[in-house]
Amino acid sequence: MNVPEYIAKSLIRDAGIVTPDGEVARDSRAAAEQARRLGGRVAIKAQIPAGKRGKSGGIAFADSPAETEEKAAALLGSEVAGHPVDAVLVEAAADIERELYVAILNDGSTRGPLLLFSREGGIEIEEQGETILRKELDIRTGLDPATAREIAGDDALAGVMQKMYERFIALDCELLEINPLARERSGRYVALDCKMTIDDSSRPRQKELFARVESASGPLGTALEQRAREAGLYFIELDGEVGVLANGAGLTMTTLDAVHLHGGKPANFLEIGGEAYTKATVALEIVLANPRVRSVLVNFCGAFARTDVMAEGVVQAHETLRPSIPFFFSIHGTGEERAIAMVRERLGIEPFDVMDDAVKAAIAAAREPAGVRA
Amino acid sequence: MILRHDQTVLVQGITGKQASFWTEKMLACGTRIVAGSSPGKGGNTVSGIPVYDSAVAAAATHSIDCTVLFTPPMATKLAVFDALEAGIRNLVVLAEHVPVHDVMEFVAAAKAARANLVGPNTAGVVTPGECAVGIMPGFAENIFQPGSIGVISRSGSLGTLICLDIVRAGFGESAFLGIGGDPVLGTSTADALRIFDGDERTKAVVIVGELGGTMEEEAAEYAAQTKMSSRKPIVAFIAGRNAPPGRRMGHAGAIVIGSRGSGESKVQALRDAGTTVLDSPSDIGSVLRNVLS
């Protein structure tokens, strides 16, 4: 889960990291009001879940409340990097001497937290090249003061790193990035931006945090994606025409790849893996509710999940919904004899023996003009 | 880890619905399950297997080579610590949705204890004809046959499809190592490759990878540095090559972040290391015939 900048900043402020004075505003008059309260030069920052915001025109500066109102009005309601802007953060502009980069993230290679530090802040990590310092940390011992001091070079910066680490652990972060971290002429460090991603698996012990972010950002995703989530299914809406229903993340990804490989475009990612394999009925309803879908490809490979149980759900849903678009099946693994017989007998459809043949047939059917089909 | 038929197994969380179901299945595969554990359930039996309150209690009575953890995600960390305290040196962690910080902590603890840990978020490991640990259908003869192909997979469902195609093509598996779909894992693709490199029954290795992270690139680096392809051919399939960036494709680890983790980067690295990369899993049989001839 991505945490909006203004919430992320309040969370690091709780740990004693300095952030610029400011408030979020949802209309231009509120933005001007903030500028008046702050006095002097302000930064107006679009609240969107994307990096490279400055380059995309998502950050403006203003020297007066009137200018703030004008620039906030231009940002609000516009799109920055493909994201609609419904809020801006109005902050006192910092007295910057130098911009730095600090991040802590979960690293799959070292299997522990990784601290990244660069004295060239303000630019994206991908552009950092070799100037970046990478420090592997042991989550059992954390970031001790001596190590932080050694990396940072001064106590104030070491303090910021330790506070970041404390937040990273306490909030189950996947990523906590301050970029830029500004050093003011006074020697004080100020977090001008903060990117925070929370591990979705930590939800049971971070309930308050998830509730706070979700109530602030509203429900994520398209209407169908929300409906799937409520049904306990993981669904991603895509822009193609071949509806896909498969079991397990790996097999579902592979099914989408096969559709691409043979020249088609999938309409969705939807897996009924793990415990969700009994939810084929509701899953199929969601696939068919997508108006772009012109054919449906069902690809099951049973291991833990039994294909006859999954097929039963799909056959039932097919009988109930009576879809007008054609279906193509590839069924292998645990329970396949029963599953194949069920599809053949109750739907009059012959499953394909090779997955790629089912994929090709589904693509060909999706290309036919709608009127041609019986 | 490659388990053998004579190795003894503990089932942690054995009294749960899934665990008791799969205990029967694992026994049917020949797995030597000697004990189960479940907090507060000590003294009971499941499928004739004695249940203890903890792994430590089970290890006081039985010699245990391996444990498989059927634990809820939030209880998994303590269960791993229990197993390590019991002195068990091989752990298979099945739970999905374990917080990553917990995973990093118990993976570090396992390493310090010199224990092998597979998972989390894995379907388990299978040695066809000998034993199976986890929720893979080790008993299904159309999927698992004793043979010489080592299979490494981040996915249970796709790994099953690949194994099915391997058996259909007339081959069998030396072992199936489900390494798991999480971003941080106890056994990486490169670790598993190293295991098969040293396993004399294995003549070729199939890597079933997917987008996200850099594990396949690290495995490619191992293969290139040790010139493994000249000893044992490596065939790979990478799922999610067409996945939209920034979206999690079902597995917590299957996500492209910025420029990291794309399927194409993995395909390139593996090809550069002398690996045959498949465009479709259906090609596995013909490619194995080619590389092993």
- Give the CATH number for residue B24: 3.40.50.720
Taking each helix axis from N to C terminus, what angle separates A280-289 and A307-321, rounded to the nearest 10 degrees?
50
Classify residue B210: in a domain, yes or no.
yes
Which residue numbers of B are catalytic? 251
Q: Do B280 and A355 touch (CB under 8 A)?
A: yes
What does the pLDDT read at residue A273? Answer: 67
Report the alpha-carbon distance of residue A159 to residue A320 in Å, rounded.
Answer: 62
The last residue of a domain, from among B118, B149, B184: B118
B56 shares a domain with B93: yes
What does the pLDDT read at residue B134? Answer: 95
Q: Which domain holds residue B33?
A: 8-118
Q: Which of A261, A301, A355 sits opposite B157 (nearest CB)?
A: A301
- Chain B closest CA to A370's CA: distance in Å? 27
What does the pLDDT read at residue A373? Answer: 46
* Tokens linked to A43: 């930064």
Classify residue B225: in a domain, yes or no.
yes
Size of interface A-B (CB pairs under 8 A): 182
* Tokens linked to A140: 């059992």
Q: Do A199 and B99 touch (CB under 8 A)?
A: yes
B65 shares a domain with B25: yes
Report the alpha-carbon distance of residue B61 to residue B56 in Å, rounded.
Answer: 9
CA-nearest of B38, B93, B95, B32 to B64 is B32
Cβ neighbourhood burial of B26 (10 Å; 0-12, 13-18, 19+): buried
Q: Identify the closest residue of chain B to A272 by CA–CA distance.
A: B250
- Could you give all domains of chain A from N- to C-terminal order, each with its CATH number? 1-20+95-218 (3.30.470.20), 21-93 (3.30.1490.20), 223-372 (3.40.50.261)
Q: Identify the closest residue of chain B to A197 by CA–CA distance.
A: B257
B250 shares a domain with B168: yes
* Tokens linked to A341: 């017989």
Report the alpha-carbon distance of residue A159 to residue B13 in Å, rounded.
Answer: 43
* Tokens linked to A204: 């049971």
B206 shares a domain with B106: no
Classify residue B275: in a domain, yes or no.
yes
Q: Return residues 41-70 of B near A (CB < 8 Å).
A: none
**Do residues A225 and A233 lie in contact, with contact meaning Cβ atoms separated by under 8 Å?**
no
Provide the CB-side half-sphere exposure for A281 (13 A, CA). 9
Residue the block writes with tokens 């772009």: A292
Give the number of domains in chain B.
Answer: 2
Identity (one letter) of the amino acid at B275?
Answer: T
Q: Residue A201: its chain B contacts at CB < 8 A? A: 73, 97-100, 252
B114 shares a domain with B249: no
β B234-239/B276-278 pair status: parallel
Cα B52 to Cα A352, B40, B87, B95, distances in angstroms:
48, 8, 16, 20
Classify residue B200: in a domain, yes or no.
yes
B192 shares a domain with B112: no
Classify residue B129: in a domain, yes or no.
no
What is the SS3 assignment for chain B?
CCCCCCCEEEEECCCCHHHHHHHHHHHHCCCEEEEEECCCCCCCEECCEEEECCHHHHHHHCCCCEEEECCCHHHHHHHHHHHHHCCCCEEEECCCCCCHHHHHHHHHHHHHCCCEEECCCCCEEEECCCEEEECCCCCCCCCCCEEEEEEEECCHHHHHHHHHHHHHCCCCEEEEEECCCCCCCCCCHHHHHHHHHCCCCCCEEEEEEECCCCHHHHHHHHHHHHCHHHHCCEEEEEECCCCCCCCCCCCCCCCCECCECCHHHHHHHHHHCCCEEECCHHHHHHHHHHHHC
B147 shares a domain with B260: yes
Classify residue B273: in a domain, yes or no.
yes
**Do residues A240 and A266 lie in contact, with contact meaning Cβ atoms separated by under 8 Å?**
yes
What does the pLDDT read at residue A374? Answer: 42
What does the pLDDT read at residue B249? Answer: 84
What does the pLDDT read at residue B254? Answer: 82
B152 shares a domain with B35: no
**Do residues A314 and A245 lie in contact, with contact meaning Cβ atoms separated by under 8 Å?**
yes
Q: What are the strands of the beta sheet with A268-271, ordered from one edge?
A: A234-237, A268-271, A242-246, A295-302, A327-333
Q: Which of A107, A140, A274 sits opposite B105 (nearest CB)?
A: A140
Report the alpha-carbon distance of residue B61 to residue A275 in Å, rounded.
Answer: 34
B185 shares a domain with B54: no
pLDDT in tens for each of the 374 residues of chain A?
A: 999 999 999 999 999 999 999 999 999 999 999 999 999 899 999 988 776 787 888 999 999 999 999 999 999 989 888 888 989 999 998 888 999 999 999 999 999 999 999 988 776 666 666 678 999 999 999 999 999 999 999 999 999 999 999 999 999 999 999 999 999 988 899 999 999 999 999 999 999 999 999 888 777 788 899 899 888 888 999 999 999 999 988 999 999 999 999 999 999 999 886 666 678 888 888 999 999 999 999 999 887 778 898 899 899 889 988 999 999 999 998 888 999 999 999 999 999 998 999 999 999 999 887 554 44
Cα B179 to Cα B81, B118, B155, B235, distances in angstroms:
20, 6, 8, 17
Report the alpha-carbon distance of residue B104 to residue A4 in Å, rounded.
Answer: 26
Provide the CATH number for the domain around residue B243. 3.40.50.261
Q: Which of A238, A248, A305 sits opposite B158 (nearest CB)?
A: A248
Residue A124 φ then ψ, to 5°? -70, 155
The last residue of a domain, from among B72, B88, B118: B118
Which stretches of chain B score pLDDT less than 50? Answer: none
B287 shares a domain with B209: yes
Report the alpha-carbon distance of residue B71 to residue B58 in Å, rounded.
Answer: 16
B271 shares a domain with B164: yes
Residue B293 neighbours by CB distance under 10 Å? 5
Classify residue B124: in a domain, yes or no.
no
* Tokens linked to A242: 């071949």
Report the alpha-carbon distance of residue B29 to residue B16 in Å, rounded.
Answer: 20
Q: Residue B101: its chain A contacts at CB < 8 A? A: 106, 139, 169, 172, 199, 202
B176 shares a domain with B109: no
CA-nearest of B173, B163, B179 to B203 is B173
Q: Return residues 97-116 of B near A (CB < 8 Å).
A: 97-101, 104-105, 107-109
Q: Which of B21, B68, B81, B101 to mutate to test the interface with A (most CBs of A within 10 A)?
A: B101
Classify residue B268: in a domain, yes or no.
yes
Torsion angle of C-alpha atoms B10, B16, B19, B23, degrees rounded to 10: 70
